[in-house]
A and B are shown apart, each in its own frame.
Chain A
Amino acid sequence: MKRLIAYGLVLLFLLFATAPYTVNAGLVFIAGIAMTEIIFALSWNMLFSYAGLASFGHAAFFGVGAYTAAVFLKYDYGLHFLLVIALGTFLGGVSSFVVAIIVLRRASGIQLAILTLALSQLVVTLIGYSAFLGRDEGIPSIPRPVMEFGLFRIDMNDQVQAYYFLFVMSLLAVALMWLLLHGYVGRRMKAVAIDPERAAFVGIDVWRVRVFAFTIGGAFAAFAGCLLVPWAQIVTPDLVMWLHSAQPMLATLLGGAGFFWGPIIGVLVLSMVNYATRTFAGLSEVLVGGILLIVVLLAPQGIMGFLRRIVERSSTGKPAMVEEQA
């Protein structure tokens, strides 16, 4: 299975790395959007699969990053875009930390889901009353930044440069999340997700681990929001809506909850379905719904789980008895 994942990742890397030279500008644009959605979905999966927290309002933190970047670029405060990303990520982390220390004290499970959903809708309402944030229309026509690095500069007005900036930043984010979740921190989170009582018994501060996971997840979501802005050149309250919060959930369910790489597969499948059905209004929703139904019925562990079952059956002749983290 590990070899299959490695091959898949190399193929994925090559596809994304060569996209500006192999596919049309529309697909390159969709690939850029997909990269930000991948970071967003991985950040949600970090909460769900590793810390056992189901947030239904994760898009609020994505929105914190997106609106921070939009304001700085639109109103031209002259801050280097890397610093804007850092600030947006920091604000995403701070806001998710505040939400975590309030919400996680008292809520878990369905209560947590409803509370986070309500909070994100509150953010949508607040944006709707703010002329500075463009109210319901959002902030359109956001200029793309030019970044000076002394020896070189990145001009995001050039579509290819913008794409590779996004690509490199996305790779960094994915690598950081992988390292985080495959080390000491990830193991503590996993222990809390599997059995919080037993984790507490062996000395893990469950609440602190959950707050940490929620904060880091929010920061990565905000990071994805920051990256989206110069690419899409528009932010709207839709980015904060519950429907956007549902996207990483769908991607995780589809790709495989419990797998680090699952959400990536999910985002890619969803993007492909949306692209393939773009000329048939309303068909993408029907198809996505149908695919999810099939996945839930036939492969409850998502595409990754299904693939692992096939690989293990073909190598041992028997289905796997013990589930392991891929």
Chain B
Amino acid sequence: MKTNRRQFIGGALGATALSGLASPMLGQNAPIRIGCITTLSGGYSLFGEAQALGMQMAIDEINANGGVGGSQLELVVRNDDIKPDVALAAARELQGEGVHIYAGVLASGVALALSGVMEELDSVFLNAASHGNNLTHEDFNKNYFRVTDYSAMRIWAAANLMADRYPDNTKWGAILPDAEIGRSTLEVFSARLPQEHQTLNGHGATIDEPVWTKFGSTDFRAPIARLMSQDIDGLFVGLGGADEVTFLQQAGQLGLTNKVGAIITSGSEFLTPIALKQRTPPNYWSGFHWYYGAYYGENPVATKVVDTYRAAGHGQHPDGFVGMGHTAIQAIAAGLEISGSTMAGDLVPALEGVTFETVKGPVELRAEDHQALCDVNYALIAGAENEDGWEVLEAAKVDGRPLAGEPSPGEEMSFG
């Protein structure tokens, strides 16, 4: 059948108009579309792909059980290229196609940009990874929710863990990116480590002059030399991603990892052991959005996610990005069940204070600042002579609720 120009233009205009008129109520024939905006290119794409996979796994599971309120869920994935403007373009495009629920994002800068326009787009955004303290404090927006822990919780847990496991290591050094996330991370660690040592061990701890680097650095010899010259017995690494792997590899070659008695990183999951294998530094603790091993066999949601992940041939070790992608969809489903509508005006109050089952057990989205109250996960990982080349020696599941601090949306956090 031939389509003439007039029919084509008419059809295109009609389709465009209809796409913006999707019904907001559940139980209609049309699926509920969820926009997954995450990083699918560059050095962080592994994390973004895992995040999208976790979301799709949750959606498949929900749809297999009849959907939410009779509606099926559908994931629409867009690459943010880890750039705020690209993420904004994607959100506006999807909003034009009737999407009002967004999930995902890795970088805090991207999350902040999206959070800032959600109200204008009459949409809700469930952030599944970004750690910036500001997102639920001074830059809080009411259509923004965070389903994972955040910097203040994660780093406080790190301080608690280090003071507990290494009571005699009291002279710490730190290497961080010269960016907002690095500065806020250091602020928390500097405040909490001495405090935790005092509480648990009856003595304080010091953090030497921090070493700052730029994102994407490839040569860490000068920062390592500075750290080697410091009188330290513990090292906090806040670099994350590929930067952390490169740093630890060079730190191992130059003897720094053997000099310090403990190394803790804020959250690179399995990235370092996968890259370094047997060369993974000794006494190396990695932060996780979710460490599956701490929940597998005990938590049915986690067990199912791990089994499905393995059965689908994705590997043996789902990371925290899979878990938090899954959690974001669980949160959306819980909110939709309560609100019965996809519109932000209904969904936001439904999500405030909601408690739902996740891979980490029951998680509450705190009503005041929309921050998830959940466990914080760390794992002690070492190189090993097995198929992976590494193994988890110990998993730590720290209750994050007391570490989340008092909600103070609109106000900057203070650690004084």
Interface of A toward B, CB cutoff 8 Å: 22-30, 33, 128, 135-138, 140-141, 157, 232-234, 236, 238, 278-279, 281-282
The smallest beta-carbon distance between B386 and chain A, in angstroms, is 33
Bound complex: CA A282 to CA B43 (Å): 12
Report B214-231 CB contacts with A as 1/0, cut-off 8 Å. 110000000000000000
Bound complex: CA A66 to CA B116 (Å): 18
In the complex, B40 has a CB within 8 A of chain A: yes
Contacts of A135 in B (CB 8 A): 178-180
The smallest beta-carbon distance between A324 and chain B, in angstroms, is 34
Asked if A238 and B83 sit within 8 Å, CB to CB, the answer is yes
Asked if A26 and B90 sit within 8 Å, CB to CB, the answer is yes
In the complex, B139 has a CB within 8 A of chain A: yes
Contacts of B13 in A (CB 8 A): 22
Asked if B16 and A24 sit within 8 Å, CB to CB, the answer is yes
Bound complex: CA A29 to CA B94 (Å): 11
Q: List 16 A-B contacts (CB under 8 A).
A: A24-B16, A24-B20, A24-B96, A25-B93, A29-B92, A135-B178, A138-B109, A140-B109, A141-B113, A141-B116, A234-B85, A234-B113, A238-B85, A278-B79, A279-B78, A281-B81
Bound complex: CA A234 to CA B215 (Å): 20
Asked if B89 and A33 sit within 8 Å, CB to CB, the answer is yes
Bound complex: CA A278 to CA B37 (Å): 11
Contacts of A233 in B (CB 8 A): 88, 113, 116-117
Bound complex: CA A28 to CA B93 (Å): 8
Asked if B90 and A140 sit within 8 Å, CB to CB, the answer is no
Given contacts A234-B84, A278-B79, A281-B41, contact A140 B89 (CB under 8 A): no
Asked if A279 and B88 sit within 8 Å, CB to CB, the answer is no
Asked if A24 and B19 sit within 8 Å, CB to CB, the answer is yes
Q: Which of B84-113 contact A (CB under 8 A)?
A: 84-85, 88-90, 92-97, 108-109, 112-113
In the complex, B120 has a CB within 8 A of chain A: yes
Bound complex: CA A223 to CA B95 (Å): 29
Contact of A27 among B41, B96, B179 (CB under 8 A): B96
Knowing that A23-B96, A137-B108, A233-B113 touch, tell me 13 more A-B residue pairs with CB under 8 angstroms: A24-B19, A26-B94, A27-B93, A29-B88, A29-B92, A137-B179, A140-B139, A141-B139, A232-B85, A238-B85, A278-B79, A278-B93, A281-B79
Question: Which of chain B's residues has its CB closest to A22's CB?
Answer: B13
Contact of A157 among B93, B94, B120 (CB under 8 A): B120
Contacts of B190 in A (CB 8 A): none
Given contacts A136-B215, A238-B83, A281-B79, contact A141 B93 (CB under 8 A): no
In the complex, B77 has a CB within 8 A of chain A: yes
Interface bin, chain B: 35 or more
Contacts of A128 in B (CB 8 A): 178, 214
Contacts of B113 in A (CB 8 A): 140-141, 233-234
Asked if A136 and B83 sit within 8 Å, CB to CB, the answer is no
Given contacts A25-B92, A26-B96, A278-B78, contact A236 B41 (CB under 8 A): no
Contacts of A236 in B (CB 8 A): 83-85, 109
Contacts of B94 in A (CB 8 A): 26
The smallest beta-carbon distance between B80 and chain A, in angstroms, is 10
In the complex, B45 has a CB within 8 A of chain A: yes
The smallest beta-carbon distance between A202 and chain B, in angstroms, is 46
Asked if B83 and A26 sit within 8 Å, CB to CB, the answer is no
The smallest beta-carbon distance between B131 and chain A, in angstroms, is 13
In the complex, B115 has a CB within 8 A of chain A: yes
Query: Closest 10 A-B residue pairs measured CB to CB?
Result: A26-B93, A24-B96, A141-B116, A25-B96, A281-B40, A29-B92, A281-B41, A137-B109, A140-B112, A26-B96
Question: Which of chain A's residues has its CB closest to B76's CB?
Answer: A279
Question: Which of chain A's residues has its CB closest to B179's CB?
Answer: A136
Which residue, A24, A30, A33, A282, has most C-beta atoms of chain B within 10 A? A24
